[in-house]
Amino acid sequence: MRVIAGDFKGRRLKAVPGTGTRPTSDKVKEALFHKLGPFFSDGETVLDLFAGTGNLGIEALSRGCSSAVFVDKAQTAVKTVRSNIDALNLGERAEVYRSEASKAIDRLESRGRSFDLVFFDPPYAEEKAEQLVGKLLNCSMLKENGMLIWEHAAAKAAAFDERLSVFAEKNYGDTTLTILQLTGGPENGE
């Protein structure tokens, strides 16, 4: 696993020990950032929920995003994210929380945080994924026109909130990558 482009192109990232974490493959990551736009320059902010190794958030920072928040409930994942951030000297631009996703959303909401990009890669067996997406939207954590990148099992049909429109979707074997954009709706004042 490596950083594909930007300031840290070619740098290797540590993997979470064991088999409990499923990192996004370089092929899927490259396709994702091709769709999002290869580089960022407007001070975009990132939330990497279910961060695992921090692979996606670090790639976004490498490509020009100004800051990222990484959340994972597994201690081994949090240690790995911190190790990868330290190796790239990204401490000034990154925050790492060991927390369940729902509690992290509450904490970030209380701090008034919102994000341009949200990487949402829950375990494929996660049964509350749609509820978590609703919670993100209801507390205005995703900025207007922001992107929610949802990696999920290809066999699972995800029900999307009406405020989100599908920007792009593609299957990669047993993985589906769905890029959603917040386009408004009744709860966003439209």
Q: What are the pLDDT digits (tens) for 117-156?
A: 999 988 776 668 888 888 999 998 999 999 999 888 877 7
What is the CATH class of 2-16+25-182? alpha beta
Alpha helices in 91-180 (DSSP H): 101-110, 129-138
Contact 135, 105 (CB under 8 A): yes
State pLDDT tens for residues 14-49. 988 876 666 677 788 888 888 887 778 888 999 999
Per-residue model confidence (pLDDT) at position 19 = 62
pLDDT of residue 92 exceeding 90: yes
Per-residue model confidence (pLDDT) at position 26 = 76
DSSP string for residues in 3-47? --SSTTTT-B-PPPSSSS--PPPHHHHHHHHHHH-S---S--EEE
Q: How far apart are CA 152 and CA 172, in angstroms?
A: 10
Distance of CA 92 to the CA centre of its chain: 19
In degrees and rounded to multiples of 5, residue 85 shows phi and psi of -65, -45
Mean pLDDT of the chain: 87
pLDDT of residue 185 exceeding 80: no
| Mean pLDDT value across residues 151-162 | 76
Ramachandran category for residue 138: left, alpha or beta (phi over 0 → left; psi -120 to 50 → alpha): alpha
Q: How far apart are CA 12 and CA 87, in angstroms?
A: 10
Q: Is the pTM of this model over 0.75?
A: yes
